[in-house]
Amino acid sequence: MNPPNILTLSRFGMAGLLIIFLNASVPGSGVLSLIVFVSAAITDALDGHLARNVYGCTDFGKLMDPLADKVLTAAAFIGFVGLGVMPAWMVTLILSREFMVTGLRLLAADKGLVLAAGIWGKHKTIWQMIFISIVLLLGCFQGLEKFHTLLWWFGLFVTALSVWSGWHYFDQNKNLLKGNR
């Protein structure tokens, strides 16, 4: 187990901490949520850098790194339902997209193929991270209720972009679903 893989595994624990802090109604829990999320983002950047430039990429890392990212963002979105920031149907659509794309990637891997993230998936990830960061930052200053309507529309945008990027990903790889390469 090399340092990049240890950092990747640490994000699973951070996802658990994020849910705990998002659901805690004690002073400072908003700040702790933000610290955990930023720390997880730093470990994501650091493990990738170390794997590519120092220790080498491993099959474990190739599988677990994107999974850790999905678990972390899922933890945030699930926590946002509890906070009333997002309705459950938005989070259900986002998480369904993530599971379906992961399934398609596993299907491709079974056929010896690697499906790289497309431009829409990259945009989706960027906007999800921006949304999560803004919600966590506003949570530090008790600003969630003040910006509830704006956050709802931003959440809808992120949901629509997630669904669109998933549809596009499946459309680009429809041959895999037909049993072709």
Render 18-67 in DSSP notation, one character per residue. Answer: HHHHHH--STTHHHHHHHHHHHHHHHHHHHHHHIIIII---HHHHHHHHH
Task: For residue 73, give both structure tokens.
Answer: 């963002």
* DSSP code of residue 25: -
How far apart, in whole angstroms, are the C-alpha atoms of residue 154 and residue 141? 19
Structural domain tally of the chain? 1
The parent domain of residue 99 ranges over 3-177
Q: Cα–Cα distances in Å, from 48 out to 28, 42, 61, 86, 126?
A: 30, 10, 9, 30, 17
Q: Against a cut of 0.75, is the pTM above it?
A: yes
How long is the chain? 181
Tell me which residue has tokens 């509890």. 82
Cα separation, 78 vs 140, in Å, equals 18
**Helix (H) or strand (E) segment spanning residue 98:** helix 88-110
- CA 107/CA 104 separation, integer angstroms: 5
pLDDT tens, residue order, the chain (181 aa):
899 999 999 999 999 999 999 988 888 899 999 999 999 999 988 988 898 898 888 888 888 888 898 999 999 999 999 989 999 999 999 999 999 998 998 888 888 887 777 889 889 989 999 999 999 999 888 778 889 999 999 999 999 999 999 999 999 998 887 765 5
Query: How deeply is 66 buried, as exposed, middle or buried, from its count of CB atoms within 10 A (0-12, 13-18, 19+)?
Result: middle
Q: Give the DSSP H or E segment for 82.
A: helix 59-83
Q: What is the pLDDT of residue 178?
A: 79
Q: What is the pLDDT of residue 181?
A: 54
d(CA 83, CA 69): 21
- CATH number, residue 18: 1.20.120.1760
pLDDT recorded at residue 110: 86
In the prediction, which pLDDT does 180 show? 58
**pLDDT for the residue numbered 71:** 94
